[in-house]
Amino acid sequence: MTKPSLAVWKFASCDGCQLSILDCEDELLAIAGAVDIANFPEASREVKPGPYTVSLVEGSITTPHDRERIQEVRAQSGVLVAIGACATAGGIQALRNFSDVKGFTDAVYASPQYISTLETSTAISDHVKVDFELHGCPIDKYQLIRVLTDLLQGRTPLLPSESVCLDCKRAGVVCVMVTKGEPCLGPVTHTGCNALCPSYNRACFGCFGPKNTPNTTALADRCTENLGLEDEQMIRLFRTFNAGAPAFRTESERYENQNH
């Protein structure tokens, strides 16, 4: 029986999520044993032709060329998994969605007429059907291994989409919001990082994006009414790596438009 094949694709991104795959180290041989790594230019020059059983797609769609390329990737992929904040929410570069992109290109480039870019940075699922989304900036390598394992066994991957608080409390970490009054996005953020930042006594900045049924308004009200945050700080709180995720975008716009 031929091994299932794996392809890894890059769109607008920093490569950090692809590095998480290489960072698997101890498990890398097991992965290579379970799948044929057929197309992963960051790891190997050998590129085998598609179709591929599983495609991992990193990065967001920011150019007309990429908008077409993702269609080709979809056509060659059995299962398409979007990995990381860029692929699932547009990434940090989705900050452009709230600004004048032409103004940026004119200011930054000496010959802006050569720049071909879109007005927005969008998630892969805005363009093609995505079978599974793996969140985080970067993704968690253990979650990645779980997803690959489940896919190889023919199961629908099952990852928790609950709050970071759930894992924070399971790990016995002391709440930074309650003990220090820090604005922590943990209560509205998708778990999967094993409460990494709170474990180091720092508030969650939401790099895994919104959890299921996030009540961002209740959190934002607490931050402004009790923790002393100003409107400008609220906009910044929700506009980082997942600024384009609908729940975070709506909340930041509520403050930007003074609609709260």
Partner 1 sequence: MQVYRFEADALNALIATLRERGYKVIAPTPMDGAVVLGEITDAGQLPRGYCDEQEKGVYRLKKTDRDAFFDFNVGPRSPKRYLFPTNHVLWRSRQENGRLEIYSESDDEKPFAFLGIRPCEMKAVAVQDRVLSKGPFADRIYSNRRQKALFIPVDCTRAGKTCFCTSMGGGPEATEGYHLALTEVIDENRHFFLARPGEENSVNLLECMQAVPATAEEIKQGRDLIEKTAACMGREVNTAGVAEMLAEYRDHPHWEEIGKRCMNCTNCTMVCPTCFCFEVEDHNDLTGQNTERTRQWDSCFNLSFTYQHGGSVRHTNKARYRQWLTHKFSAWHDQFGESGCVGCGRCITWCPVGIDVTEEIQMFQEKTS
Residues lying near partner 1 in the complex (CB under 8 A) are found at 27, 30-31, 33-34, 145-146, 148-149, 152-153, 158, 160-163, 165-166, 169-175, 177-181, 184, 186-188, 201, 212-215, 217-219, 221-222, 226
CA nearest 52: which of 147, 138, 151, 143? 151
Supply the minimum distance, in Å, between the C-beta of residue 62 and partner 1. Answer: 32
Tell me the residue type at 101. V
Q: Which is nearer to partner 1, 65 or 202 (CB)?
A: 202
What is each CA distance from 4 to 21, 42, 253, in whole angstroms? 17, 19, 44
How does 121-138 read in b/e, with b if 16+ C-beta sit within 10 Å? bbbbeebbebbbbbbbbb
List C-alpha distances in Å: 56 to 37, 104, 144, 161.
11, 30, 10, 19
Q: Output the smallest distance, CB 211 to partner 1, in A.
A: 8
Q: Cβ 215 to partner 1, closest distance in Å?
A: 4
Q: In the complex with partner 1, which residue's Cβ is closer, 137 or 148? A: 148
The string over 77-106, giving b where at least 16 C-beta atoms fall within 10 Å of a residue's C-beta and e elsewhere, is bebbbbbbbbbbbbbbbbebbeeebeeebe
- Least spacing, CB of residue 166 vs partner 1, in Å: 5
DSSP secondary structure of 151-206: HHTTPPP----SBHHHHHHHTTPPPHHHHH-----GGGBB--S-SHHHHTT-----
C-alpha closest to that of 134 among 90, 87, 97: 87
Of the two residues 74 and 222, which places its CB atom closer to partner 1 in the complex? 222
Q: Which is nearer to partner 1, 27 or 253 (CB)?
A: 27
Nearer to partner 1, 113 or 225 (CB): 225
Question: Considering the complex, what minimum distance in angstroms separates the CB of residue 106 from partner 1?
Answer: 42
Closer to partner 1 by Cβ: residue 4 or 50: 4
CB of 22: closest distance to partner 1 in angstroms? 16
